[in-house]
């Protein structure tokens, strides 16, 4: 009887949507509340010192970090505190617009720290940001390009969504400098140099189901050696720390125990290879120094997909009942997830790559186990083959390239996982 009575009062807690969400700026990754935003005026008044065109020191300071030119003289920054309450506009409890003292309205919300313009959805939905990291020559730029291309062409439709650049400039930069060279010209991208600190590529993965908030994809095309340079990483540390998910790239050619075997298997057709000096574990050490070591228990619970890149090269390791890769390995078979994460396929690839990395790079695998509490393992081929002399032979055919992203969708409660067995 008592047990039955207790059951009446022990209800499953219902998730209640908060009145607003903290905002994470997709440019500088500072976190703040919607009330803290500033606004950019939509006009200028030559006779009013406050509203004349002027330099924006905060914005220029941000741009200088990325070797970008000054923004020049632009419209004034307005603090909502200077505007009467009746001249403020709220949508879903979020401040989205103001009317300034000249009677002009603006909805251009900007970050209070870096003064870049914020997404329209900021504060209304969770700031779920996914970052991509890895050592030099791991293929982050190529993977980013292949992933976004696949999300736009295939994955979004499979999950009732659209993958949309945040603005026209990002759309143009991505198409001109990344997508067209690889997918239309069959030409490889040049290595990102450490002196090139490019602004992030920001895409919104927007669902047709209005009950699902959009997911923000923020990709820095970061020079790999920067990921092991503490001063350089300072620019990106907040980006990683405030991410909701991480894609951690690992190149098999940077693993000493199998590099020579792969080179022997490739022979004269070795193509374009990663440098020997890079070590996946070095990236973890730098991440620990910059943010993981400052967390409780010196760990991070951010969902992290460990992604073995260039999986097509593992063909040269496969053997019947081989020590490393079997001839019928899941690695070489493309899988398409639609509407949900196929837990059977995920479990197969996750288990296989965990075991593979335990054999070939135990120090890296142990470091992941120590510092990351929420991980899964994947193998992808961004191109389907290894380029030779910076040229891609045949049609670009990505393999399992979006699977880590689909897993992150599942971990962030956007989609279900179902067992196909």
pLDDT in tens, 351-368: 999 999 998 889 889 989
Looking at residues 123-136, what average pLDDT do you find? 81
pLDDT tens digits along 94-115: 999 999 999 999 999 999 999 9
3 compared with 34, residue with greater pLDDT? 34
Closest CA to 110 of 173, 53, 18, 38: 38
pLDDT higher than 90, residue 420: no
| Residue 336 pLDDT class (50, 70, 90 cuts) | very high
**At residue 368, what are phi and psi to the nearest 5 degrees?**
-60, -45
Q: Please classify residue 222 by burial: count the beta carbons closer than 10 Å to its beta carbon, then call 0-12 exposed, 13-18 middle and 19+ buried.
A: buried
Looking at residues 375-381, what average pLDDT do you find? 95
Q: Where in the chain is CATH 3.40.50.300?
A: 129-418
| Residue 67 pLDDT class (50, 70, 90 cuts) | confident
Angle between helices 343-360 and 362-371 (to 10 degrees): 120
Closest CA to 192 of 135, 252, 241: 135
Which range among 83-87, 229-233, 353-357 shows the weakest confidence by mean pLDDT?
229-233
pLDDT higher than 60, residue 386: yes
For residues 399 and 384, is the Cβ–Cβ distance under 8 A?
yes
Q: What is the pLDDT of residue 112?
A: 97
pLDDT higher than 60, residue 160: yes
Q: What is the pLDDT of residue 13?
A: 43
- Residue 266 CA to residue 215 CA, distance in Å, equals 40
- Residue 190 CA to residue 220 CA, distance in Å, equals 15
pLDDT tens digits along 300-325: 899 999 999 988 888 877 776 667 78
| Residue 221 pLDDT class (50, 70, 90 cuts) | low
392 compared with 333, residue with greater pLDDT? 333
In this structure, the number of other CB atoms found within 10 A of the CB of residue 149 comes to 23
Q: What is the pLDDT of residue 354?
A: 94
Looking at residues 7-21, what average pLDDT do you find? 55
Mean pLDDT value across the chain: 82
Looking at residues 277-305, what average pLDDT do you find? 77
Q: What is the pLDDT of residue 132?
A: 83
Which range among 79-83, 232-236, 406-410 shows the weakest confidence by mean pLDDT?
232-236
Q: What is the pLDDT of residue 305?
A: 95
- Residue 179 CA to residue 145 CA, distance in Å, equals 6
Would you identify the CATH topology of the domain 129-418?
Rossmann fold (3.40.50)
Exposure string for 257-280, b = 16+ CB within 10 A, e = fewer = ebbeebeebbeeeebebbeeebbb
Helix locations, 177-279, DSSP H: 230-241, 256-266
| Residue 166 pLDDT class (50, 70, 90 cuts) | confident
For residues 204 and 214, is the Cβ–Cβ distance under 8 A?
yes
Q: What is the pLDDT of residue 115?
A: 97
* 168, containing H or E segment: helix 168-174
| Residue 11 pLDDT class (50, 70, 90 cuts) | very low
For residue 34, give Cα distances in angstroms to 22, 97, 209, 234, 237. 7, 11, 24, 25, 23
68 compared with 234, residue with greater pLDDT? 68
């Amino acid at each position: 009887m008592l047990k039955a009575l207790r059951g009446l009062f022990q209800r499953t807690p219902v998730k209640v949507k908060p009145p607003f969400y903290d905002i994470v700026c997709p440019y500088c990754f500072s976190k703040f509340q919607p009330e803290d935003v500033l606004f950019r005026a939509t006009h200028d008044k030559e006779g009013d010192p406050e509203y004349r065109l002027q330099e924006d020191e905060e914005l220029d300071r941000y741009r200088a970090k990325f070797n970008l030119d000054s923004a020049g003289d632009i419209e004034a920054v307005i603090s909502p505190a200077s505007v009467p309450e009746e001249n403020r506009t709220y949508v879903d409890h979020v401040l989205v617009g103001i009317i300034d003292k000249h009677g002009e309205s603006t909805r251009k919300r900007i970050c209070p720290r870096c003064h870049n313009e914020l997404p329209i959805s900021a504060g209304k939905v969770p700031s779920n940001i996914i970052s991509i990291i890895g050592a030099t020559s791991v293929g982050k730029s190529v993977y980013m390009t292949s992933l976004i291309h696949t999300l736009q062409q295939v994955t979004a439709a499979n999950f009732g969504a659209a993958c949309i650049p945040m603005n026209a400039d990002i759309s143009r930069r991505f198409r001109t400098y990344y997508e067209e060279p690889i997918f239309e010209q069959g030409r490889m991208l040049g290595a990102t140099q450490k002196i090139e600190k490019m602004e992030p590529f920001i895409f919104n993965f927007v669902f047709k189901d209005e009950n699902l908030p959009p997911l923000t994809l923020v990709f820095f095309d970061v020079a790999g050696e920067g990921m092991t340079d503490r001063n350089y990483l300072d620019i990106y540390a907040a980006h990683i720390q405030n991410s909701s998910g991480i894609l951690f790239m690992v190149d098999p050619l940077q693993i000493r125990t199998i590099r020579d075997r792969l080179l022997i298997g490739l022979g004269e057709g070795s193509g374009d290879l990663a440098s020997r000096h890079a070590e996946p574990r070095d990236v973890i050490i730098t991440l620990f120094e910059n943010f993981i070591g400052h967390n409780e228990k010196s760990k991070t619970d951010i969902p992290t997909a460990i992604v073995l890149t260039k999986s097509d090269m593992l063909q040269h390791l496969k053997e019947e009942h081989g020590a490393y890769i079997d001839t019928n390995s899941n690695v070489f078979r493309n899988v398409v997830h639609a509407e949900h994460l196929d837990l059977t396929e995920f479990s197969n690839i996750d288990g296989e790559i965990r075991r593979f990395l335990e054999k070939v790079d135990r120090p890296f695998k142990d470091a992941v186990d120590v510092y990351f509490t929420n991980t899964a393992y994947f193998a992808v081929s961004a191109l389907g083959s290894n380029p030779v002399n910076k040229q891609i032979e045949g049609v670009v055919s990505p393999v399992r390239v979006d699977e880590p992203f689909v897993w992150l969708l599942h971990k962030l409660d956007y989609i279900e996982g179902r067992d196909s067995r």
